[in-house]
Every structure is written in C-alpha cells, then in structure tokens.
Amino acid sequence: MLIDEWRSKSDRICAHLQSSPLFSSAKTILAYFSFRQEPDLSRLFTDSSRRWGFSRCVGDALSWHIWKPGDTLQTGTFGILEPNSAVPNLESAEVDLILVPAVACDERGYRLGYGGGFYDRMLSSAEWASKPTIGIVFEFAYLPQLPIDKWDKPLQAVCTETGFNQIQF
C-alpha cells in the first residue's frame, strides 16, 4: 500500500472510531503505535479530553502506561515504540476501551495477531476480560472467518476504513 493510501485509510478509520459510541463514551483508552503498516491512529492521540495508554512488553506480558503527546518514546523488544519505563502505569480498573491491533479480524470478532500471544493472554485474564475491545484493521484484512484456537476471545467491534462493525453475539 502506498503511503498516501495508507494515510487516507488510517484517517478514515480514525473518523469512524470517533463517531462510534464505544469510543465516544471512553475516557481512558489503550491504543498502539502503528508498526508494519498497521492502521495509524496517531491523529486521535492529540485529543486531550482522553487519557491514552500504551503498552510495554515485559517478559511475556503487556504493561500499560499513561502517555501524552510529547512524552518520550523508546523502541521496545520487537521494534515497536513504547512509553519510557518511568511513566506511570495504568491499571485495568482505569481503562474504558482497548483498541486492538491485528493482522486480520473476522466478522465474528476474532483476530489474528503477530503470533506473540500478548493480547490473547491479556484479554483472557479476569481483570481485562470485561473491557470493551475494538479490532483495528484495513478492509482487505476484515474477513468472513478466521481459524480460531481455544484461547481466542472475540472482540466487541471491528473498525476499518469503510466503517465501524459492532459484533453481534
């Protein structure tokens, strides 16, 4: 995908997110910094009416930290930007919404990640299981059905450049 197309599609995803009820009602949102041409949500991060949380990989788990525009970032273990380790942690009780990166998502809300299992482990834990989740993918990666494993948990919604798709369970 060309850079202009990537930017345009990413901007449309941001617009669809901003008009969704799950996003509109959230005050503290976990997000991600784009990696490997994932949809770029950075235009959302300047919204100072919300608190933003970003992960650090710590062993085989994700540790979530508050981040504001202008805060220092560092390159983590997998080459992904992360907040500095001195930044305050975010606890699950403070979080209203999780924007989940994915290689692909399906119409049932299941996602395919990069294979590290970080989000699968987190979303399966009791403290995070009840948090609303939105998978973020480009339309070409929004598929009718993906293979699933017993540990996979469906997301509540999937957002692409063509729209916001609430999952019906």
Q: What is the pLDDT of residues 86-100, one digit of tens each?
A: 888 899 999 999 999
Q: What is the pLDDT of residue 98?
A: 97
CATH of the domain spanning 3-161: 3.40.50.10420
CB 65 within 8 A of CB 73: no
Decide if pLDDT at 115 tops 80: no
CB 90 within 8 A of CB 23: no
Decide if pLDDT at 143 tops 90: yes
For the stretch 21-78, pLDDT in tens is: 999 999 999 999 998 889 999 999 998 899 999 998 877 778 899 998 888 898 887 8
Give the span between the Cα atoms of 109 and 77, in whole angstroms.
28
Lowest mean per-residue pLDDT among 17-31, 55-69, 100-114, 122-136: 55-69
Give the span between the Cα atoms of 16 and 118, in whole angstroms.
26
Q: What is the pLDDT of residue 58?
A: 79
**pTM (2 decimals)?**
0.94
DSSP alpha helix (H) spans, the chain: 3-18, 21-24, 118-124
Give the span between the Cα atoms of 22 and 159, in whole angstroms.
11
